[in-house]
Amino acid sequence: MGGAVLQRIGSTKNAITKDIMAQYGKKWTDSDEERKKEIFGDLLQEGLCDYCGCQIKGRPAKEHFIPTNNSKSHLYGAEHSGNFFTSCRNCNHSKHNHNPLEWMRGKIKTKNKKPYTYNKEERLEKFQKFYDEFSCKLKATPKLVQFIEEMHKKAEKKHAQLNKLILNHDPKRTN
């Protein structure tokens, strides 16, 4: 059982980020959604992966374009429909929590996962345009990044305290 609480700190930090972004991040409007549709045109189609264009087998994933949990790059994405795209399993796993434009340009090395390739130039151009127009609504501001990371540090301390309690617990006393 040792370390069980600490193994879940990533999930806790991700939930904190999502809650903060939903509460304090910039809101996505109907006119923003219309502009998103204009930018992508017919490139985004139901049943196809928005990143690679392949037919999605099974249930498609709603994936954050700007990830919600990239603390190494201080990149925290919005929790609204403007930041969600439909993704096949391979693209979702390959992109993971990386910068999406770097991933699309092939600058991110992935482990044994299908690289993003189909209709690459057109897709990259449209995603770049989308990012250029909406980056202020897709990711946390510097002040919000600071707040998120402060909350992450507090969560890590609480997790450490809980882990200590769990490791020092005597199961005989609870029966």
> What pLDDT, in 10s, does the model give residues 125-150?
999 999 999 999 999 999 999 999 99
Number of domains in the chain: 2
Do 162 and 130 belong together in one domain?
A: no
pTM for this structure?
A: 0.82
Judge if 43 and 115 occupy the same domain: yes
What pLDDT score does 3 carry? 43
120 and 145 belong to one structural domain: no
Do 70 and 114 lie in one domain? The reply is yes
Q: Helix (H, G, I), strand (E, B), or coil: what is residue 53? A: coil
| pLDDT for residue 68 is more than 70 | yes
CA 116 to chain centre: 17
CA within 13 Å, CB half, 161: 6
For residue 15, the enclosing domain spans: 1-25+140-170
Is residue 66, in this structure, part of any structural domain at all? Answer: yes
Residue 175 lies in a domain: no
Say if residue 131 is in the same domain as residue 164.
Answer: no
